[in-house]
């Protein structure tokens, strides 16, 4: 049966039935044993029991709960771990199944990997056998210190923008409390109503951070807020 890993068994048809899970028709993965001494993949038997079955898929004896399952015997577990498999990505064959994960993580030439400069935004992706060639001409790695500085600054800038946004929202809440009105417009929620006073005519206003706002050398924000009449015609 198909599995979603990238290997297939060498001579799968010659594997003794005692090492094959009857539920998925493949050699056991992490096998567990029922009280009636039948073994199944952990995943298969767990799914079977959670699916509402309480009897053994082979002999129909009562299993009970998940708690009555035990580890399969060492000989069964070792046998399936040492089964030879073939990598379907690179066609390398006779890898022991238990070493397959390491094959994919460390050596398989056809696995898709990222550049070692992915952390500084090199977008390259390719197979491992193309990696050395890419890294020899990667344009990101030589700029590592500059790029990480830029990325860091960009991150700080984003945080400042968030701070600035919070400040404006706080300010508008204070203003709307001060004028004793709620923010009423559903289309432009940033608007608030101001009564007429000696500076303003009555109406809906919106606040925004003026582009003359500056950052001090210590990184603190010198926020200049402008308030202007809302011109959206929806009030
Ligand atoms: Zn199974
Ligand atoms: Zn059984
Ligand atoms: Zn491979
Ligand atoms: Zn690169
Ligand atoms: Zn509006
Ligand atoms: Zn408005």
In a domain? residue 126 = no
**3-state SS assignment for residue 233:** coil
Query: Are 14 and 106 found together in one domain?
Result: yes
Q: Which ligand is the nearest neighbour of the Cα of 38?
A: 2
Alpha-carbon distance values, 12 to 16, 20, 208, 209 (Å): 9, 10, 69, 69
**3-state SS assignment for residue 163:** helix
Give me 28's structure tokens: 């056991």
Ion ligand 1: residues, CB within 5 A, are 21, 23-24, 41, 44
Beta bridge pairs of residue 9: 85
CATH of the domain at 55: 3.30.40.10
For ligand 5, the distance from its centroid to the CA atom of residue 138, given in whole angstroms, is 50
> Do 32 and 39 form a contact (C-beta atoms < 8 A)?
yes
pLDDT digits (tens, 9 = 90+) for 108-154: 999 999 999 999 999 999 999 999 999 999 999 999 999 999 889 88
Boundary-marking domain end, from 110, 141, 173: 110
pLDDT digits (tens, 9 = 90+) for 65-78: 889 999 999 999 99
Boundary-marking domain end, from 94, 110, 126: 110
Nearest to 224 by CA among 211, 233, 235: 211
Question: What is residue 166's predicted lDDT score, i.e. its pLDDT?
Answer: 76
Domains held by the chain: number: 2
Q: Which ligand is the nearest neighbour of the Cα of 40?
A: 1
pLDDT > 70: percent of the chain: 84
In a domain? residue 149 = no
Q: What sections of the chain are H helices per DSSP?
A: 42-50, 74-81, 100-102, 128-137, 144-178
For ligand 4, the distance from its centroid to the CA atom of residue 144, given in whole angstroms, is 11
For ligand 3, the distance from its centroid to the CA atom of residue 95, given in whole angstroms, is 9
For ligand 2, the distance from its centroid to the CA atom of residue 40, given in whole angstroms, is 10
For ligand 3, the distance from its centroid to the CA atom of residue 84, given in whole angstroms, is 13
Q: Is the pLDDT of residue 235 over 70?
A: no
Give me 2's structure tokens: 């198909």
pLDDT digits (tens, 9 = 90+) for 198-224: 666 787 777 766 777 777 777 666 777
Query: Are 103 and 182 found together in one domain?
Result: no
Q: Which ligand is the nearest neighbour of the Cα of 28?
A: 1
In a domain? residue 64 = yes
In a domain? residue 2 = no
Beta bridge pairs of residue 7: 87
Q: Which ligand is the nearest neighbour of the Cα of 57?
A: 2
Query: Are 13 and 105 found together in one domain?
Result: yes
In a domain? residue 175 = yes
- H or E, element range at 33: strand 31-33
pLDDT digits (tens, 9 = 90+) for 156-184: 888 887 777 777 777 776 666 555 444 55
Query: How would you list the strands of the sheet with 95-96, edge to edge?
Result: 7-9, 84-87, 95-96
**CA–CA separation, 213 and 184 (whole Å):** 28
Ion ligand 6: residues, CB within 5 A, are 185, 188, 191, 204, 230, 232
10 Å Cβ neighbour count for 226? Answer: 13
> Do 122 and 115 form a contact (C-beta atoms < 8 A)?
yes
Domain that holds residue 27: 7-110
For ligand 1, the distance from its centroid to the CA atom of residue 22, given in whole angstroms, is 7
Query: Are 88 and 25 found together in one domain?
Result: yes
For ligand 6, the distance from its centroid to the CA atom of residue 130, given in whole angstroms, is 56
Q: Which ligand is the nearest neighbour of the Cα of 86?
A: 3
For ligand 5, the distance from its centroid to the CA atom of residue 45, given in whole angstroms, is 60
Query: Are 171 and 98 found together in one domain?
Result: no
Q: Is the pLDDT of residue 191 over 80?
A: no
For ligand 2, the distance from its centroid to the CA atom of residue 35, given in whole angstroms, is 7
């Amino acid at each position: 049966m198909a599995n979603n890993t990238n290997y297939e068994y060498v001579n799968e048809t010659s594997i003794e039935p005692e090492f094959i899970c009857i539920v998925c028709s493949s050699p056991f993965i992490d096998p567990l044993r029922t009280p009636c001494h039948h073994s199944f993949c952990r995943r298969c038997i767990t799914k079977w029991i959670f699916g509402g079955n309480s009897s053994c898929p082979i002999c129909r004896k009562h299993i009970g709960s998940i708690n009555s399952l035990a580890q399969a015997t060492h000989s069964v577990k070792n046998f399936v771990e040492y089964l030879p498999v073939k990598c379907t990505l690179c066609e390398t064959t006779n890898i022991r199944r238990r070493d397959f994960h390491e094959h994919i993580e460390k050596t398989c030439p056809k696995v898709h990997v990222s550049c070692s400069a992915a952390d500084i935004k090199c977008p390259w992706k390719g197979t491992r056998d193309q990696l050395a060639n890419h890294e020899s001409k990667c344009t990101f790695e030589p700029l590592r210190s500059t790029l990480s500085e830029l990325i860091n600054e960009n991150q700080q800038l984003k945080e400042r923008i968030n701070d600035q946004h919070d400040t404006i929202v706080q300010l508008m809440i204070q203003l709307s409390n001060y004028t004793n009105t709620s923010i009423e417009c559903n289309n432009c929620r940033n608007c608030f109503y101001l009564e007429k006073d000696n500076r303003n005519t009555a109406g809906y206003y919106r606040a925004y951070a003026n582009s003359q706002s500056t950052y001090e050398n210590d990184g603190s924000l010198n926020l200049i807020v402008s308030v202007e009449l809302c011109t959206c015609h929806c009030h």
